[in-house]
Amino acid sequence: GNPQDKLPIIHVAGTNGKGTTCRMLAAVYEQAGYRTALYTSPHLTDLRERIRYQLQMIPKDAVLTFCRENHAALKDDTPTFFELLTLLAFWYFEKEHAEIAIIETGLGGRLDATNIITPRCTVITSIGMDHCDILGDTLAKIAAEKAGIIKPDIPLILGELPQEAREVIIEHAEAMKAPVTEPLPSTRVKKGAWEQVSSPAPPTPPSPSNLASASISKDRPPTDRINQTIVKNTVRALQKTFPVSDLALHEGLTHWHERIRPHANFERIACFELQTGLPQTWYFSGAHNLQAWEDLTCHMNAIAPPSEWTVVVTLMSDKIAPSMREIFEPYRNLYLFAMDSERAATSDMLQQTLPWGTIIQEPSEIPTQSKQKERSGLVIFTGSLYFYSTVERWVQTIQTTVFRG
């Protein structure tokens, strides 16, 4: 069958921000009382993180049931890993009678396994230079791939896009007669402002006049505020068929990062009480491309100057870019970790890219305030989503008071 055809879907693509936007949307619609499904990738520690219903991971029994029921149908076919998980997600969501499903693309959009749906709303959060070997080596080419999820007459919600990419997206939307909603310039994004552009059939704004009043906590990254605007505009576009109260919108946006763990969106993962009696706080960010690293370091600088941060970086070999040296250059307390993976950058590759960094193999090699008292106890791990499980394991090996928040 085609279980995806029975699901009201919001389809989300983008270079950065799509996972966070999906989680925000799921939290908002679940808070509003809808039976809400969420499909994201990749997972950080447990495969089941990718498939959630009512914000909870798919039960192991459901995975086993899917395998038993569909083994015969799949044995003569050879779906990819992602295709199989996409099938599992659609099967599970239809089985649970989900009232709304938020579906994140895996890679690109046009040829993505999720792009067999006709959604109620389409979202493209951002476009930057990533996966260039597959999607293309210019913003215009990457935008064309992302634009592949745009459907005829289906509302399209955009984040802040580079002009080169925006022109491609708008051209595709006009050809599809898809109404487009964009945020106003960055100076007004925090207010949740919005406008209609290139809209053959502009939707009528919903009755709640103060949907834009909902806000998120000030300690979240600036990119969360952009994603928040995307979520508000998506809620507006669907307000007639999936009404959401101001309170549900506010609560969902305020508490999404507490209710859907782990998420790797600048997440504080541990606080260590050192022998000096002073704390050391560990953060994790899944940033893994130039655009994301620029956003991350901007947020880090708002918290403390580069001299007060200890940065631990790992990379996949295909994510190495010469310009990242300029981004991380202010951070002189830099440490490099080579993951044990065929895709991972080796110690030599890391050292060549960020030559002032020190190679480490264990968390004990990261300086602490007890060793260097002049250094603040702020440590961030970044460079790859796949680094998360390693850092989590390191946390468990250290005698600390660990908290989530």
Same domain, 223 and 311: no
The amino acid that residue 132 corresponds to is: C
Span of 129-143, 195-209, 307-321 with lowest mean pLDDT:
195-209
CATH number at residue 33: 3.40.1190.10
Same domain, 243 and 297: no
Helices 290-303 and 222-237: angle between axes, nearest 10 degrees: 120
Q: Does residue 124 form part of some domain?
A: yes
Is the dihedral angle over the CA atoms 56, 379, 343, 11 positive or is it negative? positive
Confirm if 287 and 383 have CB atoms less than 8 A apart.
yes
The residue out of 231, 259, 287 marking a domain boundary is 259
Determine how β-strand 51-53 pairs with β-strand 36-39: antiparallel
Average pLDDT over the chain, rounded to whole?
85
The amino acid that residue 42 corresponds to is: P
Same domain, 251 and 351: no
Q: Does residue 403 form part of some domain?
A: no
Same domain, 247 and 230: yes
Confirm if 186 and 298 have CB atoms less than 8 A apart.
no
Same domain, 63 and 174: yes
pLDDT of residue 120: 97
The reported pTM is: 0.84
Total domains present in the chain:
2
Task: Count how many residues are written for the chain.
Answer: 405
Q: What is the pLDDT of residues 365-389, one digit of tens each?
A: 887 644 455 555 899 999 999 999 9
Which tokens go with 342?
């065929």
| Residues of the domain holding 170 | 3-259
Same domain, 140 and 223: yes
Q: Does residue 186 form part of some domain?
A: yes
pLDDT of residue 359: 96
Between 203 and 138, name the one with better pLDDT: 138
Confidence of residue 207 (pLDDT cuts 50, 70, 90): very low
Confidence of residue 204 (pLDDT cuts 50, 70, 90): very low
Q: Does residue 177 form part of some domain?
A: yes
